[in-house]
């Protein structure tokens, strides 16, 4: 009987630790009430594997702020880089496979960080560089280390397009011009709006 009690106590203790951790995580992330309550708006994770965060406006596909041509026919067209009042910048665009072959090398886009390797193929390796202030901004992550960027990228078929997003901490409001980098693509100068 004492073994059953010990097992129950361990289960109860594990449940308590898990509940406390979830509560702490929820409190630590802030609220959506914004600066009026003294906390910043938290970045919104994607609703699905390829969707944009809930706080970001839909990218205007008719507007193009940069076109980056990568290897094996991959083209990344950036449509917007919008700063929101919560202190985040969301970059949105479209990836297109312009070649006649399927593209399966998207693992390079997640960058070299060890932590980023465990979350599948994603755009977490993207960075913004504020050249004037000499600062590099990495894609934000949730409390479990997952990037706030398009995830679940598999093989991209010939001619296929994929809407993408990446969310970064915002450079100072005095900074509008930054460099955008994504592994295997050339660097592009983009302007942050908002």
CATH number of residue 46's parent domain: 2.60.40
Report the pLDDT value the prediction gives residue 160, as an integer from 0 to 100: 96
63 and 10, same structural domain?
A: no
Mean pLDDT of the chain: 77
14 and 103, same structural domain?
A: no
157 and 69, same structural domain?
A: yes
58: in domain? yes
35: in domain? no
The whole-angstrom separation of Cα 90 and Cα 165 is 7
Is residue 151 within 8 Å of 49, Cβ to Cβ? Answer: yes
86 and 182, same structural domain?
A: yes
52: in domain? yes
The whole-angstrom separation of Cα 102 and Cα 61 is 24
Residue 86: CB atoms within 10 A of its CB come to: 17
Is residue 93 within 8 Å of 166, Cβ to Cβ? Answer: no
Is residue 55 within 8 Å of 86, Cβ to Cβ? Answer: yes
Helices (H), the chain: 2-28, 114-117
148 and 97, same structural domain?
A: yes
Quick check: pTM over 0.85? Answer: no
Tell me the two tokens of residue 15. Answer: 């449940």
Q: Residue 159: what are its φ and ψ, rounded to 5°?
A: 80, -10
Number of domains present in the structure of the chain: 2
Is residue 106 within 8 Å of 132, Cβ to Cβ? Answer: no
Below-70 pLDDT ranges, the chain: 1-59, 112-119
Report the pLDDT value the prediction gives residue 19, as an integer from 0 to 100: 47
107 and 66, same structural domain?
A: yes
């Amino acid at each position: 009987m004492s073994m059953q009690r010990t097992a129950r106590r361990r289960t109860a203790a594990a449940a308590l630790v898990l509940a406390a951790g979830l509560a702490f995580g929820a409190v630590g992330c802030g609220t959506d009430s914004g600066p009026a309550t003294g906390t910043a708006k938290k970045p919104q994770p994607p609703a699905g594997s390829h969707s944009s965060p809930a706080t970001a406006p839909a990218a205007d596909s008719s507007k193009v702020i940069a076109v980056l041509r990568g290897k094996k026919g991959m083209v990344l067209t950036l449509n917007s880089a919008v700063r929101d009042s919560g202190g985040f910048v969301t970059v949105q665009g479209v990836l297109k496979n312009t070649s006649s072959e399927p593209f399966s090398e998207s693992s390079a886009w997640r960058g070299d960080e060890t932590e980023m390797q465990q979350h599948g193929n994603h755009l977490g390796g993207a960075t913004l560089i504020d050249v004037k202030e000499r600062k590099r901004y990495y894609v934000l992550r949730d409390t479990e280390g997952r990037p706030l960027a398009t995830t679940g990228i598999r093989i991209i078929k010939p001619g296929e397009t994929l809407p993408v997003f990446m969310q970064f901490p915002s450079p100072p409001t005095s900074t509008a011009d930054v460099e955008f980098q994504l592994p295997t693509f050339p660097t592009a100068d983009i302007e942050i709006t908002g």
